[in-house]
Amino acid sequence: MKALRALLIPLAVVLAAGCDSGPQAGDLTMQLVSPVEDLGALSFSITATEPTMIDTVTAACAGCTVFTTRISGSEMRGVVTGDIGPGAVLRVSVSDTKVPEAYVGQVLEASAPDYELVAITGMELTIP
């Protein structure tokens, strides 16, 4: 019986360590897909499906600034300003990075560097 216990205890420890089924908080990067190469500002919304949550949103593009407002634990809206083009734009701190499909970004409006509004047709925020 002692020999069996000596085998089962290390096996239980290994199995418990390998069992990582809970949520993992962290950051996801949202990429801008856009036919427009040169933007000065972009307004957006990010929503999360329950039970996932959004903690913070910061800039992922160099020299960009983000202003946000929390609508709820699962929705944030904001504006990012700076030299914006296709590629990494937002860094989103979330409650579970294991389900990136639970977080959806939407471009609401966009402007050129001279503040003229730009059509958002073909623009989207994605998590690769």
Alpha carbon distance 58, 30 (integer Å): 10
Which residue range forms the structural domain that includes residue 44?
22-126
Residue 115 within any structural domain of the chain: yes
pTM for this prediction:
0.82
Tens of pLDDT, residue by residue over 4-54, are 455 445 544 444 445 568 999 999 999 999 999 999 999 999 999 999 999
In a domain, 7, yes or no: no
Radius of gyration, CA atoms only, the chain: 20
Number of folded domains that form the chain: 1
Tell me, yes or no, whether 121 lies in a domain. yes
Task: Tell me the backbone φ, ψ of residue 11, rounded to 5 degrees.
Answer: -65, -40
49 located within any domain: yes
Find the CATH number of the domain harbouring 41. Answer: 2.60.40.680
Helix (H, G, I), strand (E, B) or coil at 102: helix
In a domain? residue 13: no
Contacts of 104 (CB under 8 A, 6+ apart): 46, 47, 48
In a domain, 11, yes or no: no
Dist. CA 23–CA 99, nearest whole Å: 9
